[in-house]
Amino acid sequence: MKVVLSLGGSMLMQDFNAERVKHYAEKIESIAAKHRILVVVGGGRVARDYISTARSLGADETLCDYIGTGVTKLNAMLLISAIEQASRIIPDDFRQAYELSINHPVVVMGGTFPGHTTDATAALLAEFVRADVLLNATSVDGVYSADPKKDPNAMRYERITAKELISIVSAGESKAGSSNVIDLLAAKVIERSGIKTIIFLGEPENIEKALKGEVKGIGTVVEG
């Protein structure tokens, strides 16, 4: 199988905890023993701190996006430090990622161009390389009918369609550094490509469960 993993920066990078990065690296290597895996790493809190400082200095949203992308690439380099069999090159675009994946069981990249988050980067990559599944390892345990932090009656879906996902995330904002369960562009790419997607609480031990489609208590399956 060909697997694309979108690994949220807020999951991977928690106070520069090397043990945690190692734990993710081990899980990725164990998937790579059986499958080809391409990982897109997010920026997390460090990216958000850079973006808010740049914005307060007068940066426009596109410049903020470039800054965020820079941090995602740093995080990608940190992750490959712990994965021997990963390509040493962090691809700048999908064609380069595809090319590298021919000879490397693991390819890790960050963001690409402004206007979206690494969720969309991962969805576009999954479409381009014709991945069998897109795993979105994020900081929430799936997709809810409303923001569970604001609405106590919000309910978590175990399965939804891509169309339903689009209507849920359409309500969110799209500024640099903003957080939604998944970004709108990603949801639209998932719909048009029909790629099976799992959105789940991205702790290292959940990645293999998500790959098997075992989402009970940890996430949501999005049928393309």
By beta-carbon proximity to ligand UTP, the closer residue of 105 and 180 is 180
Contacts to ligand UTP from residues 130-169, by CB under 6 A: 138
Site string for ligand UTP, 59-98 (x = CB under 6 A): -----xx--xx--x--------------------------
d(CA 22, CA 49): 24
Contacts to ligand UTP from residues 97-116, by CB under 6 A: 111-114, 116
Q: Which of 91, 142, 177, 204 binds ligand UTP (CB under 6 A)?
A: 177
Listed ranges 52-60, 86-94, 176-184, 203-211: which one lies at the site for ligand UTP (CB under 6 A): 176-184
Q: Give, in order, the Cα–Cα distances in Å from 146 to each of 1, 49, 107, 157.
A: 33, 26, 34, 11
Q: Least Å distance between CB 158 and ligand UTP?
A: 22
Q: Which of 42, 91, 142, 204 binds ligand UTP (CB under 6 A)?
A: 42
Contact status: 8 vs ligand UTP (CB under 6 A) = yes
Sheet hosting strand 219-223, strand order edge to edge: 106-109, 36-41, 2-7, 133-138, 196-201, 219-223, 159-161
d(CA 24, CA 49): 23
By beta-carbon proximity to ligand UTP, the closer residue of 71 and 86 is 71
Q: Least Å distance between CB 116 and ligand UTP?
A: 5
Q: Which of 179, 203, 223, 224 binds ligand UTP (CB under 6 A)?
A: 179
Q: Least Å distance between CB 48 and ligand UTP?
A: 6
Residues that bind ligand UTP (CB under 6 A): 8-10, 42-44, 47, 64-65, 68-69, 72, 111-114, 116-118, 121, 138, 176-177, 179
